[in-house]
Structure 1
Amino acid sequence: MEKAKRKERKSPQEIFCAARVLRLCALILSIFLCIGTVSEAAARVLPVSEAEENSTNIKLYARSAVLMDADSGRVLFGKNEMEAMPMASTTKIMTCIIALENGNLQDVVTVSGLAARQPKVHLGMRDGQQFVLNDLLYSLMLESHNDSAVAIAEHIAGSVEAFADLMNQKARDIGCYDTFFITPNGLDASVTDQNGNMKVHSTTAKDLARIMRYCIEDSPEKEGFLTITRERSYSFADVEGNRSYSCTNHNSFLTMMDGALSGKTGFTNNAGYCYVGALTREGKSFIVALLACGWPNNRSYKWSDTKALMSYGLTNYEYRDVYEIQELSSIYVEGGVPENQKPYGNAYVEVTLEEGEKELSILLRQDEEVSIQRQIPKKLAAPVEEGSAVGSVKYYLGNELIKEYPVFTKYGVDSMSFIWIVQYIWNRYAI
């Protein structure tokens, strides 16, 4: 019995070895567990690029928002950007640009009873009082006076309704098909159309950004618009000189970020706080449009959202030259006269892109890539004229066409007609 017990006892060396084996097994098990945990974490993190992560981290108060590249008009970030909503006094950027394009700044504007009855915020003008149009535009854009908007509209178009027609036509001209204007000042309003459908004074964040882009980029009066909307304060008097007025710009964004260019605030009970603004810095230009960005007492939400979107654009987007030189093959011309002017062999024509720019700079995020599609036929039917557009090279960002370059023929190719063959034989064999 004692011998059996002695046999069951482990020597110190055996105990030491067994302990090492157990520690080794535990170490191997912990390594596998760690690898599994790391792999699981990697599976969650790796598919999300840094730019995509930044994009998803944009938290906005606005119910509808857009960040737009002002140069191209491309939407870089959108939140419910196609949903039509009231836009309050951001309406006045359209009122201002139409007045600049259709009026004379030194015109004398006579105030009507309708204009004088407009609710606050107002200049306090009186029926029959007269002002210079240029002065009223500062009243319109700096202090957002509702009576000035109506006085301007009536002077330019004869009535508020006729001016609204000008606003809606301009909106369609610049591609804003989800916008409907009723008033020049942006007060909440609705009308019933000929079909009995109620239409509301409204726009979308995307359309509002487009309108701002037109005002600062494309309008022939863009410099006048920028001069007015960037002014910090302005003083003037009525034509008779009986009353003096002073206006202060309420676009606080002008002092919030370097490069702030222009903007317009707005608020009504239905619209909530709204804003549209523009910034240019480091060779990049952005427009932010916000609709329904909080209600009292959340006046500052629009500034927080604007800075967040502008900062996102500045941080995540850079210009890249995506132009690629194209090597274009000659195209077979069916039934054409070969280059050697003989009635045998095949006819081909060389093609080229239009001469000019050899650079295509596009504002892109790090993870965005441009694709190129060549749409060029494999053959053409004779005759072919010199300089004919026979195809194109297109640059796409996703499904969006960014740029299209036409492909032209370098020279013409005649048709090998019966008359051409007879003439060839006559010239070749006639004695």
Structure 2
Amino acid sequence: MKKLSYIFFVLLLLISFNTPASALQNSDISSEAAILIDADTGQVLFEKNSNLKYAPASTTKILTALIVLDKCNLQEKVIVGKKPPYADGSKIYLLEGEELTVEQLLYALLLESANDAAEALAEHVAGSVENFSKMMNEYAKNLGCKNSNFINPHGLYDDNHYTTAYDMALIAKHAMQNEIFRTIVATKNYKIPPTNKQTETRYLNNHNKLLWNGGRYYYKYATGIKTGYTIKAKHTFVGSATKDNINLIAVVLKSPTAVYPDITKLFEFGFNSFKKEKILDKLVPVTYLNLDNGKALIPVVPSKDFYYLIKSSETKLPAQNIILNKNIKSVHKNEIVGKVELLLDGNIVDSIDLLATQDYKMNIINTITKPNIQLAKKNYLKFIYPVMALFLIRGFYRKYKRKKGLS
């Protein structure tokens, strides 16, 4: 009996240790909306109300920074206009006419969450906050965001300024592909030296507590990105983390309390429940291109490696649907000759171009195959028969005229 009790106790322990990693429930997340994705592929690993609209607060600044990095050089000089110094909320107290670099303002934007820096950058890029907001919406739309609308560059609350956890994850995924952005959001502190208007050095500190070693919410795998808070939006957060070559992005919106427990739960769920599998290798052919009636078989490879996260308890991998371009006669090395679709449960996970691995030019002599010779012969006969008929008719006509003349 004691032996059975001991076995039961061990099994109970094993179950309790394994459950949290594989059974994250919506009720475990206090935020009203949340999502966890693979930062490399966009694969959704967990979601809660991820397509419902919420106010993003200062996580808006991720998109602002993304556009600025796309449009500006880091060392460009920005002259602060009349309006930015009067921006509400968090700020670094810019002064009208003050000169700073784009780089300095980006650090103020993403570390100190400075609203005056957001407006200064918006005016520098687009001439006005209104024009910059239009750029934000166009940019977000091009990234695939379908349920977002931005009317300012900083995220101060407005009924018409909203996004979803899913859309914000898409924006963050794209942002984290930018090396400069990654460097800024991983930086814990930064100094802006005195300027033409400010005699004192400005000291900036990153508000992301996941990065601060020794702090209550420190998370050793964290790599960024941005905090947010307004009274109506509540706490918002977009975070990134890397472990064992797995890169994750987590988003939480409208959290009633500090976001860090939710974010840590999401990251731990991702790292403990999924493993990374290499589905496609850009050096390994997935098929062959049959050219010149089998005289040439050209290996075809994916344009990039493709990895997919699968649950540790599962073995199901995406299926491959290979689609080659039609009527290919000649190819050059690295020419796109088709695509491979990765499918899971009938849904397209990703679509990757396929490339030829070598040059091939079909010999013109080889194009005249037997079927083509027969076709040419038929076409020749179609032409010659009417010509022969004309000559015969002409001959009979002349012969007829001569006989008539003799008579």
Do these two structures clear the TM 0.5 threshold for a shared fold by scoring above it? Answer: yes
> Which of 271, 275, 278 is 2:237 aligned to?
275
Where 2:220 maps in the other structure, the secondary structure is coil
> Are 2:51 and 2:164, in contact at CA under 8 Å, matched by a contact in 1?
yes
Aligned to 1:372: 319
Amino acid at match of 1:137: L
1:111 to 73, 80, 100: 80
Deviation at 1:134, TM superposition (A): 2.0
In 2, the alpha carbon distance for the partners of 1:390 and 1:184 equals: 42
Tell me what 1:313 maps to. 270
1:420 aligns with 2:382: no
Residue 163 to residue 67, structure 1, CA distance change in 2 (3 Å)? same
Q: Structure 1 pair 351/80, CA: closer, same or farther in 2 (3 Å)?
A: farther
Q: Aligned to 2:255, what secondary structure does the other structure show?
A: coil
When Rg is computed on C-alpha atoms for both structures, the one with the higher figure is: 1
Matches of 2:238 and 2:198, distance apart in 1:
34
* Distance in 2 (alpha carbons) for counterparts of 1:120 and 1:405: 44
Distance 1:418 1:67 in 2: 62
SS of the residue corresponding to residue 53 of structure 2 reads: coil
Identity %: 28
**Please, which of 49, 56, 74 is the counterpart of residue 80 of structure 1?**
49
Unaligned 5+ segments in structure 2 are: 1-17, 213-217, 382-407
DSSP-derived class of the 1:109 partner: strand
Equivalent of 2:139 in 158, 170, 174: 170
* C-alpha deviation, 1:216, in angstroms: 1.1
- TM-score normalised by L of structure 1: 0.69
Which residue number in structure 2 is paired with residue 245 of structure 1?
202
Report the counterpart of residue 37 of structure 2 in structure 1: 68
8 Å Cα contact 1:84/1:178 also seen in 2:
yes
* Worse-matched range after superposition: 393-402 or 305-314: 393-402
Q: 1:188 to 1:76 in 2, by over 3 A?
A: same
Contact 2:303 2:354 in 1 (8 A): no
Compared with structure 1, are the counterparts of its residues 285 and 386 closer, same or farther at alpha carbon in structure 2 (3 Å cutoff)?
Answer: same
Partner of 1:213: 173
2:240 paired with 1:284: no
**Hey, what's the Cα distance between the residues in 2 that align with 1:355 and 1:173?**
28
CA distance in 2: counterparts of 1:96 and 1:132, whole angstroms: 14
**Which residue is equivalent to 1:345?**
none
From 159, 173, 182, the equivalent of 1:226 is 182
| 2:226 alignment counterpart | 264
What is the deviation of 1:143?
Answer: 1.0
Letter matched to residue 346 of structure 2: N
What is residue 401 of structure 2 aligned with on the other side?
none
Cα distance in structure 1, aligned partners of 2:109 and 2:53: 24
Residues matched between the structures, number: 346
Secondary structure of 1:186's counterpart equals: coil
Superposed CA deviations along residues 318-369 of structure 1, whole A, max 9, x for unmatched, are: 11234599998999xxxxx9x6xxxxxxxx9998772357975321113251
How far 1:129 sits from its partner (Å)?
3.0
Q: Which residue of 2 aligns with 1:159?
A: 128
What are the within-5 Å matches in structure 2 for residues 320-399 of structure 1? 320-322=277-279, 354-355=300-301, 360-366=306-312, 367=314, 369-372=316-319, 374=321, 385=329, 394-399=341-346
Instruction: Output the CA distance in 1 between the equivalents of 2:355 and 2:237.
Output: 46
Cα gap change, 1:423 to 1:313, in 2 (>3 Å): same
Residues 400 and 351 of structure 1: CA distance in aligned 2, closer, same or farther (over 3 Å): farther
TM-score normalised by the chain length of structure 2: 0.72
Compared CA separation, residues 423 and 73, structure 1 to 2 (3 A): same
Structure 1, gaps ≥5 residues long: 1-48, 191-199, 332-336, 340-347, 427-431
Which residue number corresponds to residue 129 of structure 1? 98
Question: Residue 203 in 1 paired to residue 135 in 2?
Answer: no
Report which stretch shifted further, 354-363 or 306-315: 354-363
Q: Give 1:226's aligned amino acid.
A: R
Residue type matched to 2:157 in 1? D
Structure 2 vs 1, CA of residues 62 and 129 (structure 1 numbering), >3 Å: closer, same or farther?
A: same
**Alpha-carbon contact 1:351-1:407 (below 8 Å) kept:** no
Deviation at 1:239, TM superposition (A): 2.8
Could you tell me which residue of structure 2 aligns to residue 27 of structure 1? none
Which sits farther off after the overlay, 103-112 or 307-316?
A: 103-112
Structure 1 residues 99 and 326: CA distance shift in structure 2, 3 A: closer
Q: CA 1:204–1:349 in 2, change beyond 3 Å: closer, same or farther?
A: farther
Look up the equivalent residue of 1:227 and give its one-letter code: T
How big is the shift at 1:114? 1.7
Post-superposition offset of 1:56: 3.2
- 1:97-146: CA deviation from partner (whole Å, max 9, x where unpaired): 22222123233322223211111212222333333332222111111111
Q: Where does residue 157 of structure 2 map in the other structure?
A: 188
Deviation at 1:50, TM superposition (A): 6.5
Distance 1:329 1:153 in 2: 50
Match of residue 67 from structure 2: 98
Partner of 1:196: none
CA distance in 2, matches of 1:154, 1:135: 16
